[in-house]
Structure 1
């Protein structure tokens, strides 16, 4: 597992604070790998998910650090979303 993925998994689990996510989401960090998020929390993985969000490492780092709003990242084209937009919207507050 890359350092970027490892750091992102830890940051996601911290942000969620033990809250369960109703559904499955996949975060694809271009050139690094993928993270799965479900009721158990975040972990490295690349399975089928309700929603897949794809961006470069800098964009994910900015979102997780609170320097970029996930909605703004999507609207500017820095974050691509494929699948259940409702699931993505439920995740936005946890990422901000």
Structure 2
């Protein structure tokens, strides 16, 4: 799956992600950045490389698995498949919103 397809999948989830009320930057190795601004109503996705409340480094393939429910976020974190920088509380809240 390409980063554009991942972004499209995330776009379908924006209504749920609005309750996050924070900014999250997904840094997909070799594919770029997806920036979620859930402080806006409606929430907005972009490719900005701005400062975020929480930054998640993950491969595009693992992000796709995460969004599809095929990869447990806590297991991925424990195994080093994703790294979190910034607010761990926002990352935990995001875990409950992704499905």
Which interval holds the TM-score relative to the shorter structure? Answer: 0.7 to 0.9
Among 2, 5, 10, the alignment partner of 1:4 is: 2
How many equivalent residue pairs? 94
C-alpha deviation, 1:19, in angstroms: 4.3
Q: TM-score, normalised by structure 2?
A: 0.83
Question: RMSD across aligned C-alpha pairs, in angstroms?
Answer: 1.7
Matched, 1:51 2:45: no
Among 59, 83, 88, the alignment partner of 1:85 is: 88
C-alpha deviation, 1:53, in angstroms: 0.3
Runs of 4+ residues over 4 Å off in structure 1: none
Q: Summarize the alignment of residues 1-96 of structure 1 with structure 2, pairs less than 5 Å apart.
A: 4-17=2-15, 19-20=17-18, 21-39=20-38, 40-96=43-99
In structure 2, stretches of 5+ residues that fail to align are: none
8 Å Cα contact 1:5/1:44 also seen in 2: no
C-alpha deviation, 1:44, in angstroms: 2.3
8 Å Cα contact 1:6/1:44 also seen in 2: no
